[in-house]
C-alpha cells in the first residue's frame, strides 16, 4: 500500500485494517450468570465492538478498553480486568 | 502594460490574474491593501471569486484549507501577528498538501508592538512546510505570485510570497502587468488528485499513527526538495512567456568577487547600489540574493559563494541565543565542503530600522578585513544598533 500525498484516504472502510486492541490496558469480562441481556452495553459502546446477546459478544480485535460498558451495566455483570501481558 | 503599483497592489492584481476562486483573509497592517483591493475586484464584478470574511487569521487560513481541499484555487494574505495566529493551520495546509498561495507583507513581531518591517514573522514559520519566496521589488511580487501557483499546484505544496512591509507593500514602482490571455496560457486551471467531492467521498486529515507519520513528513520533505527543480523549471517557462528571469538565487557582479554580500528581500536593491560603487573603484565586491529560502538553495549557494574570501550576511531576523536564520543555513550549506568562505552575520533593519548605505558599507568593510586577516573575530554582529540605549557594549 502506497501512501497518498496529504494522507487522503480514497477508499471507505480502511479503519477495519487498523486493529486498536493494542491500546487496551483493561479488558471487559462478562459474567454470563449476572447478565440480563438488556443491551445497554451494546448501546453505549462507542466503538460498536459489542454485539447483542445474553451474554453479549465483545470483538476484542477493536475493543480499546474504555470501560463504558462496565460503567453502564445495571446488573454489574461486566468488570474491567487487567490485560495480561507476556 | 506598465503601471505604478505598490507591492500590495501587485500581489492583489497577481491573484486576480491567477483567477483565484476563493479568497479568505483578515485585515492586518501592512498587508490590508492586498485583500482590500481583492474585495473591490470581487464586489465590482472584475473577479469571479468568493471572498470569505472571517473573524481571525486562524479562520482565514482554515477557510482557505477547506476551499483548497475541494480543488479550488485559493489565496490569502497576512503579516506578522496574523501569520503567528495562522501558524497552527500553516502546518495543516502543508501536511494536507494543499496548494494554497499566500502573500506575506513582512512585519516585525510583538512585543514591543511594531507595525514596521523585518522578516522575523516568516522566519518564525520557516519549518511549517511552506515554500518561501522573498521578493526584491514589486515586479517580483506580481511575478512570484503567478509562479507560486504553478509550483504549488504541480507539487501540492503551499507557497508563501514574502515582501518587505512598507518598503515594498506601500511604495509604488513601475510594474509590468501581463495580459490575462498570456497568464491563462502560463497558468492553466488545475485538478487536485483527490478533492473533497460528495460524489466520490474521501477522508482528509486522518490520524497518522506512529507506523506512518514519519513517512508523511518524509514525503513533504521530498516534495519541498523537488520544488527546487520545479522553481527553476517554472522560472524558465515564465521567461518564455514574459521575458523576465527568475531563479532560486540572484547573482549580481558576484562571479569574480572576493567579498560578497548575501541578503534577501528589498535589501537586495540597496546592496546592488553599494556593490556598484565599490566596483567603480575597482574593488571586487558582489551580491548574492536568496529568493527561495525554502527550499534552501544549498548547491546554488556553494557555487555562488564558494570562491569568495568572505561573505557578509545582511538579514532582518534573529534566532535569539543563536544567530540569523539565513546565516545559519548558509553556514550549514558549507559543512561538508572543503573550501568555504569566511562568514559574518549582520542582524539589521529590525522593526523598521532603516538600513542605510553606511551600514551596508560597514558590512563590506568587515568582510574585507576578515578576508585580509584570514579569520572572523566575531561572527554575529548588529548593524545600526544604538548601543547607548542597550547599555551594553555589543
B156: nearest CB among A5, A10, A14: A5
pLDDT bin (cut points 50, 70, 90) of residue A17 is confident
B2-242 and B249-390 agree in CATH topology: yes
B216–A7 C-beta distance less than 8 A: yes
What's the whole-model pTM score? 0.94
Round the CA-based radius of gyration of chain B to a whole number and report it: 21
ipTM of the complex: 0.85
Residue A10, in any domain of the structure: no
- Name the minimum distance, in Å, from the CA of A8 to any CA of chain B: 5
B391 at interface of A, judged by CB pairs closer than 8 A: no
**Among A3, A6, A18, beta carbon nearest to B156:** A6
Residue A44 inside a domain? The answer is yes
- CATH number for the domain that contains residue A69: 3.30.70.20
The answer to the question of residue A41 being in a domain is: yes
Domain extents in chain B = 2-242, 249-390
Classify domain B249-390 at the CATH class level: alpha beta
For every one of its 394 residues, what pLDDT tens digit does chain B have, with 9 covering 90 and above?
Answer: 999 999 999 999 999 999 999 999 999 999 999 999 999 999 999 999 999 999 999 999 999 999 999 999 999 999 999 999 999 999 999 999 999 999 999 999 999 999 999 999 999 999 999 999 999 999 999 999 999 999 999 999 999 999 999 999 999 999 999 999 999 999 999 999 999 999 999 999 999 989 999 999 999 999 999 999 999 999 999 999 999 999 999 999 999 999 999 999 999 999 999 999 999 999 999 999 999 999 999 999 999 999 999 999 999 999 999 999 999 999 999 999 999 999 999 999 999 999 999 999 999 999 999 999 999 999 999 999 999 999 887 7
Residue A86 has pLDDT above 60, yes or no: no
Chain A environment of B208 (Cβ under 8 Å): 7
> B70 CA to chain A: closest CA distance, Å?
12
Let me know: does B39 contact B24? Beta carbons within 8 Å. no
Residue B103 β-bridge partners: B77, B161
Residue A63 structural domain = 19-82
Is B212's CB within 8 Å of A3's CB? yes
B chain contacts of residue A9, beta-carbon cutoff 8 Å: 202-204, 206
Question: Which positions ≥6 away from B146 have C-beta within 8 Å?
Answer: B14, B17, B18, B178, B183, B186, B187, B238
Q: How far is B293 from chain A (nearest CA, A)?
A: 23
Superfamily for the B2-242 domain: Thiamin diphosphate (ThDP)-binding fold, Pyr/PP domains (3.40.50.970)
How near does any CA of chain A get to the CA of B68, in Å? 12
Helix (H) / strand (E) containing A81: strand A78-82
Question: Is A11 inside any structural domain?
Answer: no
CA angle, residues B2, B7, B13, in degrees to nearest 5 = 60
Amino acid at each position: 500500500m502506497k501512501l497518498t500525498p496529504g494522507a487522503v484516504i480514497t477508499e471507505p472502510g480502511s479503519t477495519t485494517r487498523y486493529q486498536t486492541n493494542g491500546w487496551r490496558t483493561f479488558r471487559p469480562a462478562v459474567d454470563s450468570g449476572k447478565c440480563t441481556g438488556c443491551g445497554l452495553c451494546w448501546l453505549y459502546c462507542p466503538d460498536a465492538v459489542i454485539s447483542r446477546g445474553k451474554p453479549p459478544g465483545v470483538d476484542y480485535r477493536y475493543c480499546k478498553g474504555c470501560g463504558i460498558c462496565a460503567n453502564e451495566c445495571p446488573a454489574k455483570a461486566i468488570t474491567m480486568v487487567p490485560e495480561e501481558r507476556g | 502594460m506598465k503601471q505604478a503599483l505598490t507591492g500590495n497592489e501587485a500581489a492583489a492584481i497577481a491573484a486576480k490574474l491567477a483567477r483565484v476562486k476563493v479568497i479568505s483573509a483578515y485585515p492586518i497592517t501592512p498587508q490590508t491593501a492586498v485583500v482590500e483591493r481583492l474585495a473591490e475586484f470581487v464586489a465590482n464584478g472584475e473577479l469571479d471569486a468568493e471572498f470569505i470574511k472571517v473573524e481571525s487569521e486562524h479562520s482565514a487560513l482554515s477557510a482557505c484549507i477547506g476551499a483548497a481541499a475541494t480543488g479550488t484555487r485559493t489565496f490569502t494574505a497576512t503579516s506578522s501577528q496574523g501569520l503567528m495566529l495562522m501558524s497552527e493551520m500553516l502546518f495543516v495546509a502543508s501536511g494536507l498538501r494543499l496548494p494554497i498561495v499566500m502573500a506575506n507583507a513582512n512585519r516585525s513581531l510583538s512585543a514591543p508592538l511594531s507595525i514596521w518591517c523585518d522578516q522575523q514573522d516568516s522566519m518564525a514559520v520557516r519549518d511549517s512546510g511552506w515554500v518561501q519566496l522573498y521578493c526584491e521589488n514589486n515586479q517580483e511580487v506580481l511575478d512570484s505570485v503567478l509562479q507560486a501557483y504553478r509550483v504549488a499546484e504541480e507539487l501540492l505544496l503551499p507557497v508563501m510570497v514574502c515582501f518587505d512591509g512598507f518598503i515594498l507593500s506601500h511604495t509604488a514602482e513601475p510594474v509590468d502587468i501581463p495580459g490575462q490571455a498570456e497568464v491563462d496560457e502560463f497558468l492553466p486551471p488545475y485538478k487536485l488528485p483527490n478533492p473533497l467531492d460528495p460524489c466520490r467521498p474521501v477522508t482528509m486529515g486522518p490520524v497518522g499513527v506512529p507506523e506512518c507519520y514519519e513517512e508523511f513528513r518524509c514525503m513533504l520533505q521530498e516534495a519541498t526538495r523537488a520544488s527546487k527543480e520545479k522553481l527553476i523549471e517554472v522560472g524558465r517557462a515564465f521567461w518564455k512567456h514574459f521575458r523576465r528571469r527568475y531563479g532560486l538565487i540572484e547573482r549580481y557582479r558576484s562571479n569574480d568577487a572576493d567579498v560578497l554580500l548575501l541578503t534577501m528581500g528589498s535589501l537586495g536593491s540597496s546592496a546592488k547600489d553599494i556593490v556598484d560603487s565599490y566596483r567603480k573603484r575597482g574593488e571586487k565586491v558582489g551580491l548574492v540574493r536568496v529568493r527561495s529560502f525554502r527550499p534552501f538553495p544549498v548547491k546554488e549557494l556553494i557555487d555562488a559563494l564558494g570562491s569568495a574570501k568572505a561573505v557578509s550576511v545582511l538579514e532582518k531576523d534573529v534566532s535569539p541565543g543563536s544567530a540569523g536564520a539565513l546565516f545559519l543555513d548558509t553556514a550549514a550549506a558549507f559543512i561538508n565542503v572543503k573550501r568555504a568562505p569566511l562568514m559574518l552575520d549582520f542582524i539589521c533593519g529590525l522593526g523598521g530600522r532603516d538600513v542605510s548605505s553606511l551600514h551596508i558599507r560597514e558590512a563590506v568593510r568587515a568582510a574585507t578585513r576578515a578576508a585580509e586577516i584570514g579569520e572572523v573575530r566575531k561572527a554575529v554582529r548588529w548593524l545600526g544598533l544604538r548601543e547607548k540605549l542597550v547599555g551594553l557594549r555589543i
